[in-house]
Amino acid sequence: MTETIWWKSGTVYQVYPRSFQDTDGDGVGDLAGITARLDYLAWLGVDAVWISPFYRSPMADFGYDVADYCAVDPLFGTLSDFDTLIAEAHRRRLKVILDFVPNHSSIAHPWFAESRASRTSPRRDWYIWRDPAPDGGPPNNWLSNFGGPAWTRDEATGQYYYHAFLPEQPDLNWRNPALRAAMHDVLRFWLERGVDGFRVDVIWHLIKDEGFRDNPDNPDFAPHQPGINRFAQVYSCDRPEVIEVIAGLRAVLRAFGERVLIGEIYLPIERLVAYYGPDLKAADLPFNFQLLETPWRAEAVAALVAEYEAALPEGGWPNWVLGNHDRPRIAARVGPAQARVAAMLLLTLRGTPTLYYGDEIGLGHVPIPPDRVRDPWERNEPGHGRDPVRTPMQWDDGPGAGFSAAEPWLPLSADADHRNVEAMRDDPGSILTLHRRLLALRRDHAALSVGGWRGIELPPDLAAEMFAYERFAEGATLQILLNFGADPRAVPLGEDEWEVLLSTRPGRAGERGRGPFPLGPDEGVVLRPETSR
Ligand code: TEU
């Protein structure tokens, strides 16, 4: 029997709600805007939409600082807007995944106000408070991911609180059972409203070393890196006890049926796969960010895929990510020609793909003038800010690119007049059409959505610039050939007749032939051998 659980066979599309669609004319996207664009998502052919945080928040980190886990921030609308969104999504057979931010709250959360009020407050232990070091300084050497120390001293009680991110984002204490129970209730609140799963923010951070030991030096630290990399984060995160906490979250979800738990985890493969948990009882999909970190070279990507496939635990379902709201846009990293090859890679590898909004129209790096910088990380550590990857979706060539009637909160890309959905949707050569065809192909071929994967062995001269593999299910096999280079290649495939199901170059679908396959520069193809017709 072919596995058909939606989060295995489907594609996830990430929406950054500030930047998808504004309906109330304030230059910032909102929930009603997402609802208004659901027809687009259904047309595109994705299966689930993951929405970055829209909870009540002072927006110090644009919603990753939550002041009320069960309320919609007025900037984005109301709970009733949310109920409409989910009903309309489900009507179109789209699943809705929320962003759950359990590692830290906002400093404005009432829990923190109570916790900070006194050393004996019943909620004191819901956050992480420590006495100063003997010299009065921070309790240990842990650093903030956004620059500077991870400890802030609170004058009233003389202790420091820990924050892995901004001082406005105090870390919650997941060793405390009452905090855990309160957070489980938050999950139930949204599950009861019909959400289909959660992407859990920095899930590998939830538990810190019990002894708060100093992190060791990172011998590979280079000055161009963010300051956080000065130390290897072995004690501040990725502690073994976290797996049981994640299993607890997943158990809450499973009581509601087949809801998905996706964990945000920036760790190397050998550590990442531990997050499936014993008997696959922790994260359903530990986010695989390896494509964000691997150099865009055929051999490096081929080695990565083989390593990841080999490392997965028995029954653990793979997943792939090419972009998100924290990392450079794929089109900016690899250029427009290779961005098409990258789209084919993402949507033909084995495992659930997550597509970042705007990547389907090839949005690149949008320069942000100094007076428009919004990301606090850019202010703390210039050059590391994430505004350039969070700019508004471009829908048409009207004012504000159809995103907003007002000045958008971040600038549009300079080519918005032609890099937009309206201009690209009927263009057979556009990257948007390519995405739509790839998504349709995944739906039509079980080999692509749920089938197996194996690498195709290439002669060394081809392997340097090409990555090739097969996907197979129910007796059918498809071949995927990806040219990472700018030279044409003749790829030996045996004597069978081949048929092009889809190419990154328009106009080749349906082409048939025998003998070596003529692969163009920067071209990717999905082929069907005659034996699989
Ligand atoms: O990101 C966590 C995180 O580790 C990244 O910000 C990472 O530091 C960055 O990609 C550089 O490696 C999550 C959210 O995705 C991010 O937007 C939030 O700012 C952060 O957590 C705090 O909640």
> What's residue 495's pLDDT?
87
Neighbour tally for 361: CB within 10 Å: 22
Looking at ligand 1, which residue's alpha carbon is closest to its atom 23?
64
Q: For tokens 């408070």, what's the residue?
A: 129
pTM for the full model? Answer: 0.97
Q: How far is the CA of 201 from the centre of ligand 1 (A)?
A: 8
| Nearest-CA residue for atom 11 of ligand 1 | 326
How many other C-beta atoms lie within 10 A of the C-beta of residue 453?
Answer: 18
Blockwise average pLDDT, block size 10, the chain, 533 residues: 81 98 98 98 98 98 98 98 98 98 98 98 98 97 96 96 98 98 98 98 98 97 94 98 98 97 98 98 98 97 98 98 98 98 98 98 96 95 95 97 98 98 98 98 97 96 96 96 97 93 96 96 97 88
CA–centroid distance, residue 325 to ligand 1 (Å): 9
Phi, psi of 366 (to 5 degrees): -100, 115
Q: Atom 9 of ligand 1 has which residue's CA nearest to it?
A: 326
Annotation says 264 is catalytic: yes
Q: Which among 30, 171, 201, 387 is annotated as catalytic?
A: 201
Q: Whose CA is nearest to atom 6 of ligand 1?
A: 326
Q: For a ligand 1 pocket test, name from 18, 99, 145, 218 the mutation site with the most ligand atoms within 8 angstroms of its C-beta.
A: 145
The label of the residue with tokens 């950054």 reads 16
> In degrees, to the nearest 5, what angle opens at C-alpha 292 toward C-alphas 288 and 295?
125
User: Cα of 379 to ligand 1 centre, how many Å?
Assistant: 15
Q: Which atom of ligand 1 is nearest to the CA of 61?
A: 19
Ligand 1 binding pocket mutation candidate from 98, 326, 374, 379 (most atoms within 8 A of CB): 326
Q: State which ligand 1 atom lies nearest to the alpha carbon of 101.
A: 23
| Gap from CA of 222 to ligand 1 centroid (Å) | 20
- Token couple for 52: 């970055």
Tokens (6 digits) for 93:
């057979």
d(CA 208, CA 183): 18
The closest residue, in CA terms, to atom 10 on ligand 1 is 326
The reply to whether 201 belongs to the active site is: yes
- Of the residues 64, 66, 322, which should be mutated to test ligand 1's pocket, given the most ligand atoms within 8 Å of the CB? 64
Atom of ligand 1 nearest to the CA of 266: 4
H/E segment holding residue 130 = strand 129-130
Taking CA atoms only, the protein residue closest to ligand 1 atom 7 is: 326
Residues with Cβ < 8 Å from 118, sequence gap 6 or more? 124, 156, 157
- Nearest ligand 1 atom to the CA of 326 is 10
| Residue 381 phi, psi dihedral angles, 5° rounding | -135, 85
- 326 CA distance to ligand 1 middle (Å): 6
Residue 144 alpha carbon to ligand 1 centre in Å: 11
Task: List, in order, residues 6 or more apart from 244 with CB less than 8 Å away.
Answer: none
Element (H, E) at 463: helix 460-463
Residue 346 near residue 353, CB atoms below 8 Å: yes
Ligand 1 centre to CA of 434 (Å) is 30
Nearest CA owner, ligand 1 atom 18: 64
Q: Which atom of ligand 1 is nearest to the CA of 146?
A: 8
Cβ-based neighbours of 122, under 8 Å, separated by 6 or more:
114
Reduced to 3 DSSP states, what percent helix, strand and coil does the chain have, rounded to the nearest 5?
Answer: 35, 20, 50
> Which run of H or of E encompasses 454?
strand 452-455
Catalytic choice (61, 196, 264, 522): 264
Q: Does residue 484 contact residue 341 with C-beta atoms inside 8 Å?
A: yes
How many CA atoms lie within 13 Å of 407's alpha carbon, on the beta-carbon side? 3
Model pLDDT, residue 1: 44
Residue with CA nearest ligand 1 atom 20: 64
Cα 166 to Cα 149: distance, rounded to the nearest angstrom: 10
Q: How confident is the model at residue 533, as a pLDDT?
A: 86
Distance 327 CA to ligand 1 centre (A): 9
CB of 348 within 8 A of CB of 471? yes
Q: Give the residue, by CA position, lying nearest to ligand 1 atom 16.
A: 326
Helix locations, 312-430, DSSP H: 330-348, 376-380, 421-424
Counting atoms of ligand 1 from 1, which one is nearest the CA of 327?
10
533 C-alpha to ligand 1 centroid (Å): 45
All domains of the chain, ordered by start, with CATH?
A: 6-102+177-206+242-438 (3.20.20.80), 110-162 (3.90.400.10), 453-532 (2.60.40.1180)
Tokens of 22: 């504004």
> Can you tell me which atom of ligand 1 is nearest the CA of 103?
23
Distance CA 49, CA 12 (A): 6
- CA–CA separation, 341 and 480 (whole Å): 11
Instruction: Please give the backbone phi and psi of residue 152, each rounded to the nearest 5 degrees, phi first.
Output: -125, 130
For ligand 1, which residues put their CB under 6 angstroms from it?
Answer: 61, 64, 101, 145, 165, 201-202, 264, 266, 325-327
**Residue 401 in tokens:** 């690119």
